[in-house]
Amino acid sequence: MNKALAFAGIIIAALAASNCTAKTDRRIQLRYMAWGNVEQLALEQELVDRFNRRNPDLNVRLFKVPQSAYGNKSIVMFASRTSPDVVRVDHFNFPQLAERNYFRDLSEFTETDPEFDAKEFFPLAMQENYSNGKLLALNVLFGGGVMIYNKTLLKKAGLPDPFELWKRGEWTTDRTLEYAIKLTKFDANGRPSQFGVGFPNMPFYVGIMYGYGANLLSEDLTRSAMDTPEAAEAMQWVADLRWKHRVCPSPSQGANAAFGFETGRLAMEFNYIGVTSRYREKIKDFEWDICPMPDGPKGKSLFVKGNQLVMYRETKHPAAAWRLLKFIVSEEAERFLYIEQRRQSPTRIKLAQSSDFLQPKAPPFNMPSVTASVESGKVLPIGPRWPEVITVVGSEFDSLFAGRERDAKVVLQRAHKAVNKLLSEDPGL
Amino acid sequence: MKKHQPGRWGFIFILPWLLGFIFFTAGPMIASLVLSFTRYDLSTIHFVGTKNYERILFDEPLFWKSLQVTVTYAFFSVPLGIAGSLALALMLNQKVAGERIFRTLFYLPSLVPSVASALLWSWIFNADNGLLNYTLGLFGWGGVEWLADEKYTLGAFVVMSLWGIGGGRMIIFLAGLQGISESYYEAARLDGASAWRQFRNVTLPLLSPVMFFNLILGVIGAFQVFTQAYIMTAGGPNNATYFYALAIFRNAFEYFKLGKASALAWILFLILMGITALQFWASKRWVHYEGEAKS
């Protein structure tokens, strides 16, 4: 009996103590949700720690969700009104979620906060944050795709540096193909031992389309734009890399990173600058650098895409949440994320054009390749129905990318019809 | 005052389960039935009558595609799985040294989480470096793009489903086999029956209720395949692995069409009810219960 009483006493004391602790912590509690690989999440935590140190009246907790579950988790949390106060959303999902009114309009803060000036950011970076004329987010991890190339292999093959060609306006899709052909090697059994270029998956093939003067969707995103000869030419170029010229790995050859760039068996690849932190760490036995996406016959292939930092509409602490949002796009945070760690491009013009960003001390050195996209790239055709559109497009393009259908025109006609049918239907059914 | 109220206590004891069933099973089921007649995108809801059902049945090629994929998969994977589990159970029912170790070893693969086994099979099916193509290559075959060529992908999923033959289904068969009285076999042997005749005329008929049970669960399970398709192929290539459960998931959580997803779920429920009813009807012809007289 005495033991039972003592046990109950301990429990009550522990509960009272925890209650006292909660009551004495008068800081406003905020939750910030993000995803990423181990390195990215460590950087997010570092940002949160810095913010907490500078703002003793607030306590932000980083809510980490694995990437594979992030989309569904965020949707369920928004819908069930249990969302964290600040959430990072992939732009692929942003317009769809924005339509459902989950995000708070930030104009009330941006227009009244003297410390915030939208003109300090790239117009393209701000453009992605709007939905139906409302500013619902700030852009982070923003930038375009680049090409990463193995300088050692190119030098061995006697090929001029692509970045130098780009500066002269000579880095084109034709030249990329020529390089890829020269850089693809086979062993004595006829099996590929080195590939010229990695396959340009989504959204890189949309960039190639831009270079050919084509697009997936119309400007207003209400219908397909894939029925043009330019779109067919662009996608034929993409598919031919793999199935006609055989200069990039097939899906199975590329599986399990057998021809990953780090292996030194892939001469060039389409990727984001964010991947280079891993390359800096892993690649020790060859030189490498970056250059912009190659120009197509009708212009530039540069595209941009970011993540949106949003404030949950029903946050209980909007002013505090705004301070966190503002901090994550502040000069200090961008300098840390994009100049020290080079996760993507700064969204702040001054930082992106600073010598600290453009003249780094470690590879990649050709940083104007990144700035080129954020200055003159094109946003991707991502609207509220993007997940459905890309599923339809993807299932048609599968047959082109897997080599079952070699004629891009046939595939694009099918995709064009399917997307138009989809977009003409009631979006809720 | 009554001293004993067993009925009341019984009710109190089952109350936790009953409440769980009402709030977490029956409640959501009724809610989903109501939702299936609405256009619901997690923020707004409108009654649309039977439009979701009309759209799915008459204007949604992907519904028929997902149904075709799932039925084809079930048609091959369920009989093969049952045959495999039965064969394994027969082998593990032998009185040999270390039989318990063998049973444990064969059961182990079914304990591997489905995500991990999906990744493992991705490596096995890799066309260039995979174990399957390597083994086939030793016999002069191979080079098949198991997960990238729509001709083979569903077949690969059927093969992959055999990974679970040593799991719960095999245990149920084993229990069924051990429930068959040795006296039947003794009588058969006295009559000069061969091992095959004993299997055909004693084991199979007496095991048929267990087989029937496994068949029903197997079909229901085959219609619910999701994780492997979601992880390994995302429904591709060209929708060759667009399983029904994946269609429900995509409509609900990627396209925000929860009304339509609910309608899809109810159509699946009706399909499974129909198939199960058919199985019960057909079972009269091949399922034998001990002591039951068959005309």
Residue A356 tokens, joined? 């600290």
pLDDT, residue B164, reads 84
d(CA B292, CA B208): 13
Distance set, CA B284 to CA B158, B209, B292 (Å): 29, 11, 11
pLDDT (tens digit, 9 = 90+) per residue, B179-220?
Answer: 999 999 999 999 999 999 999 999 999 999 999 999 999 999
Instruction: Dump the DSSP string for A189-243.
Output: TS-EEEEEE----TTHHHHHHHHTT--SB-TTSSSB-TTSHHHHHHHHHHHHHHH
B41 vs A71, A100, A387: nearest CB: A100
From B100's Cα to the closest Cα of chain A, the distance in A is 37
pLDDT (tens digit, 9 = 90+) per residue, A149-179?
Answer: 999 999 999 999 999 999 999 999 999 999 9
From B126's Cα to the closest Cα of chain A, the distance in A is 6
In this prediction, what percent of chain B has a pLDDT beyond 70?
Answer: 96
Q: Find the closest chain A residue to B144 by CA distance.
A: A252
Judged by a CB distance cut-off of 8 A, whether residue A102 touches chain B is yes
pLDDT (tens digit, 9 = 90+) per residue, B96-123?
Answer: 888 889 999 989 988 888 888 888 888 8
CB contact under 8 A, B257 and A428: yes
CB contact under 8 A, A429 and B55: yes
From A254's Cα to the closest Cα of chain B, the distance in A is 9
Residue B128 tokens, joined? 């260039």
d(CA A140, CA A344): 8
Q: Which of A166, A159, A152 is nearest to A261 (CA)?
A: A152
Judged by a CB distance cut-off of 8 A, whether residue A78 touches chain B is yes
DSSP H or E stretch at residue A271? strand A266-272
Judged by a CB distance cut-off of 8 A, whether residue B255 touches chain A is yes
A398 vs B238, B257, B260: nearest CB: B238
Answer for the pair B91, B267: CB distance below 8 angstroms, yes or no: no
pLDDT, residue B63, reads 95
What is the rounded average pLDDT of the residues B52-56? 96
- Torsion A213-A218-A221-A224 (CA) sign: negative
Q: How many CB atoms lie within 10 A of CB B170?
A: 26
pLDDT, residue A72, reads 83
pLDDT, residue A83, reads 96
CB contact under 8 A, A255 and B237: no
pLDDT, residue B130, reads 84
From A47's Cα to the closest Cα of chain B, the distance in A is 30
In eight-state DSSP terms, residue A305 is E
CB contact under 8 A, A387 and B254: yes
Tell me whether residue B231 is in a domain. Answer: yes
**What are the residues facing A62 on neighbouring strands?**
A32
Residue B6 tokens, joined? 């067993």
Q: Which of B19, B91, B73 is nearest to B243 (CA)?
A: B73
Instruction: Dump the DSSP string for A70-120.
Output: HHHHHHHHHHTT---SEEEEETTTHHHHHTTT-B---HHHHTT-TT--GGG
CB contact under 8 A, A75 and B148: no
Q: Which of A105, A108, A107, A72 is nearest to A89 (CA)?
A: A72
Q: Find the closest chain A residue to B257 by CA distance.
A: A428
In this prediction, what percent of chain B has a pLDDT beyond 90?
Answer: 64
Tell me whether residue B27 is in a domain. Answer: no
Answer for the pair B172, B214: CB distance below 8 angstroms, yes or no: yes
A72 vs B39, B239, B253: nearest CB: B253
Q: Which chain A residues in 201-220 lie under 8 Å from chain B, judged by CB atoms?
A: none
The answer to whether the bond into B237 is cis (omega within 30° of 0) is yes
- Residue for token pair 């990727």: A271
- For residue B269, give the CATH number of its domain: 1.10.3720.10
Tell me whether residue B237 is in a domain. Answer: yes
Residue A112 tokens, joined? 């009244």
Q: How confident is the model at residue A14 (pLDDT cuts 50, 70, 90)?
A: low
pLDDT (tens digit, 9 = 90+) per residue, B235-267?
Answer: 988 899 999 999 999 999 889 999 999 999 999
d(CA A386, CA A14): 51
CB contact under 8 A, B259 and A253: no
- Residue for token pair 């393009």: A397
Q: Which chain B residues in 120-159 lie under 8 Å from chain A, judged by CB atoms?
A: 122-123, 126-130, 145, 147-150
Q: Find the closest chain B residue to A396 by CA distance.
A: B238
pLDDT, residue B237, reads 85
d(CA B67, CA B70): 5
From A79's Cα to the closest Cα of chain B, the distance in A is 6
Tell me whether residue B31 is in a domain. Answer: no
Answer for the pair A268, A159: CB distance below 8 angstroms, yes or no: no
* Cβ-Cβ contacts under 8 Å, B41 against chain A: 100, 428
d(CA A248, CA A196): 6
d(CA A118, CA A129): 11
pLDDT surpasses 90 at A236: yes
Q: Is A425 helix (H, G, I), strand (E, B) or coil?
A: coil
B43 vs A100, A258, A385: nearest CB: A100
CB contact under 8 A, A404 and B150: yes
Tell me what ipTM this predicted complex has.
Answer: 0.76
Tell me whether residue B22 is in a domain. Answer: no
* Cβ-Cβ contacts under 8 Å, A251 against chain B: 145, 147-148
Instruction: Dump the DSSP string for B18-80.
Output: HHHHIIIIIHHHHHHHHHTTEEE-SS-EEE-TTHHHHHHHHS-HHHHHHHHHHHHHHHHHHHH
pLDDT surpasses 60 at A23: no
pLDDT (tens digit, 9 = 90+) per residue, B264-295?
Answer: 999 999 999 999 999 999 999 999 887 665 54
pLDDT surpasses 60 at A21: no
Q: What is the SS3 assignment for B74-118?
A: HHHHHHHHHHHHHHHHHHHCCCCCCHHHHHHHHHHHHHCCHHHHH
Long-range contacts of B101-110 (CB under 8 A, 24+ apart): B103/B174, B106/B166, B106/B170, B107/B166, B107/B167, B107/B170, B107/B171, B108/B166, B109/B163, B109/B164, B109/B166, B109/B167, B110/B163, B110/B164, B110/B166, B110/B167, B110/B168
Judged by a CB distance cut-off of 8 A, whether residue B259 touches chain A is yes
Tell me whether residue B189 is in a domain. Answer: yes
Which of A195, A252, A414 best probes binding to B when mutated, by most B CB atoms within 10 angstroms?
A: A252
pLDDT surpasses 90 at A37: no
A256 vs B43, B123, B250: nearest CB: B123
What is the rounded average pLDDT of the residues B16-26? 95
pTM of the model: 0.83
Across chain A, what does the average pLDDT equal?
92
Alpha helical stretches, state H, B108-167: 114-124, 131-138, 150-161
**Domain span including residue B265:** 39-286
pLDDT, residue A11, reads 65
The burial class, CB within 10 Å (0-12 / 13-18 / 19+), for A387 is: middle
Q: Which region among A204-218, A231-245, B137-151 has the lowest average model confidence (pLDDT)?
A: B137-151
What is the rounded average pLDDT of the residues B69-94? 95
Q: How confident is the model at residue A18 (pLDDT cuts 50, 70, 90)?
A: low
Q: Is B2 helix (H, G, I), strand (E, B) or coil?
A: coil
pLDDT, residue A8, reads 62
d(CA B255, CA A387): 7
d(CA A130, CA A143): 17
pLDDT (tens digit, 9 = 90+) per residue, A74-115?
Answer: 988 998 889 999 999 999 999 999 998 999 999 999 999 999
Q: Which of A151, A146, A153, A159 is nearest to A287 (CA)?
A: A151
DSSP H or E stretch at residue B244? helix B244-249
- In chain A, which residues fall in CATH 3.40.190.10? 26-144+305-379, 146-301+385-424
Contacts of A62 (CB under 8 A, 6+ apart): A32, A34, A41, A44, A45, A48
Q: Which region among A23-27, A140-144, B48-52, B76-80 has the lowest average model confidence (pLDDT)?
A: A23-27
Across chain B, what does the average pLDDT equal?
91
Judged by a CB distance cut-off of 8 A, whether residue B42 touches chain A is yes
CATH 3.90.1180.10 fits A146-301+385-424, yes or no: no
- Torsion A322-A323-A325-A329 (CA) sign: positive
d(CA B287, CA B295): 13
Q: Which region among A200-209, A305-314, A357-366, B131-140 has the lowest average model confidence (pLDDT)?
A: B131-140
Tell me whether residue B87 is in a domain. Answer: yes
Q: Which of A63, A58, A69 is nearest to A31 (CA)?
A: A63
Q: How many CA atoms lie within 13 A of A134 on its CB side?
A: 16
Q: What does chain B come to in residues? A: 295
Identify the architecture of domain A26-144+305-379 in CATH. 3-Layer(aba) Sandwich (3.40)
Q: How many CB pairs under 8 A join A and B?
A: 91
A252 vs B39, B128, B250: nearest CB: B128
Q: For helices B61-92 and B99-107, what crossing angle results, to 10°?
A: 170
B127 vs A252, A398, A425: nearest CB: A252
From B269's Cα to the closest Cα of chain A, the distance in A is 20
CB contact under 8 A, B126 and A255: yes
* The total number of structural domains that make up chain B: 1
CB contact under 8 A, A252 and B41: no
Residue A77 tokens, joined? 């949390």
Judged by a CB distance cut-off of 8 A, whether residue B256 touches chain A is yes
* Cβ-Cβ contacts under 8 Å, B235 against chain A: 391, 395
pLDDT surpasses 80 at A380: yes
A28-34 and A86-90 strand pairing = parallel
Tell me whether residue B291 is in a domain. Answer: no
Q: Find the closest chain A residue to B235 by CA distance.
A: A395
What one-letter code names the amino acid at A176? T
Contacts of A196 (CB under 8 A, 6+ apart): A179, A180, A181, A182, A183, A184, A247, A248, A267, A268
